[in-house]
Amino acid sequence: MKKFEIPEYYQSPIISKVKAQRKIQDPRKKDFTPTRLSLGSIDFLIARHFGFCYGVENAIEISYKAIQENPGKRIYLLSQMIHNPGVNEDLQSYGIEFLQDTKGKQLIPWENITKDDVVIIPAFGTTVEIENKLTEIGVDVQSYNTTCPFVEKVWNRSDKLGEDKHTIIIHGKHDHEETRATFSHASQNAPALIVKNLKEAQVIVDYIEGKTSAEELLAYFEGKYTINFHPEIDLNKIGVVNQTTMLATETQEITELLREAMIRKYGEAVIKNHIADTRDTLCYATNDNQSATYGLLEQEADFAIVVGGYNSSNTTHLVELLEPKFPCYFINSEDNILENLEVSCFDIHSKTESIKTLPIKDNKATIILTSGASCPDAVVDRVIQKLLYLTKNEVDFEKIEL
């Protein structure tokens, strides 16, 4: 796999050793057990896969390349490069400005943009409408397009499904940048509808089985389907794709739920005429990170720490997986770890931050540690260092041996 050139301060002395060693031990990435790192009185159980994925590293490399190649020019990002505050703040420190917020609200009017400006398309991609708008202005939309190749893979699969007269069911969050982009691309030549979870997929099943009306379905999914969507026609032949950062297992469960409904309605003999096999759209990095989290669930530990942006979908799903078994603390960075072993952490359900005390007794603990795909390894390193400092463990990080 390609090695990207990213700023050195995103890299790390501890995690880089862990990842290098695991790559040697498990080159085929079949072993999802965590790495146990014993540092003084603290044992860290570090997920087999976590942190920057291919798409994120690609986006960061291209973004800093844009800065280096365009001195004196105005440089814009359509919205956040990735869902990590540290990465976005660093890019802003070089003078980059955001054109929109994460929900698509315009922050800088299009009228202010000229053909001489540089606009970076983030890893999530963008809608066809926005790309056309930039092209009309005269902006070069390709030189610094950082759209993740795995997001583009979903778009290409959607195109093929549309050509075969399928309606595209998108498993995603309707207000997420990537889902908005996928919806835009999918709807160019096919009807499309967005479902967030199994509960929403069941609403489609109820319609397919005649338990609810078309009017009820359309009212339930208001704002989440294409113009002139006709359930009586458009839900006869479907294919499921996903926002690449959603739970892969849930995408598969949604697909199977819809498939079983189609079998009950049409019979298994003709099922291929009514629902496509779209397992090939799942992102490898999302799969790996989530599989590694299941590996963490097989361990025993005092608590878990998940590091990443609070608006990061893939990071949120790691918390969802871990919190039923462990006390789970979702933090942005080491700055959230306070004196007296308190932590300012984010609750994914109430969407609020609160101060909690880490359950560390006598400066000893076994801690599960992982991070989202948009979190730099250097941040995870600093979390380790902060915890060791607060538990009075002096460790020479240059001499760590695995």
Active site residues: 178
The residue with tokens 């969050």 is 173
Residues in the chain: 402
Phi, psi (degrees; rounded to nearest 5) at 120: -95, 125
d(CA 283, CA 370): 18
3-state secondary structure the chain: CCCCCCCHHHCCCCHHHHHHHHHHHCCCCCCCCCEEEEECCEEEEECCCCCCCHHHHHHHHHHHHHHHHCCCCCEEECCCCCCCHHHHHHHHHCCCEECECCCCCECCCHHHCCCCCEEEECCCCCCHHHHHHHHHHCCCCCCCECCCHHHHHHHHHHHHHHHCCCEEEEECCCCCHHHHHHHHHHCCCCCEEEECCHHHHHHHHHHHCCCCCHHHHHHHCCCCECCCCCHHHHCCCEEEEECCCCCHHHHHHHHHHHHHHHHHHHCHHHHHHCECCCHHHCCHHHHHHHHHHHHHHCCCCCEEEEECCCCCHHHHHHHHHHCCCCCEEEECCHHHECHHHEEEEEECCCCEEEEEECCCECCEEEEEEEECCCCCHHHHHHHHHHHHHHCCCCCCHHHCCC
Encoded tokens for 293: 């989290």
306 in Cβ contact with 330 (< 8 Å): yes
Question: What does the alpha-carbon distance between residue 281 and residue 87 come to, in Å, rounded to a whole number?
Answer: 27
Could you give the C-alpha distances from 77 to 111, 172, 325, in angstroms and in order? 16, 23, 39
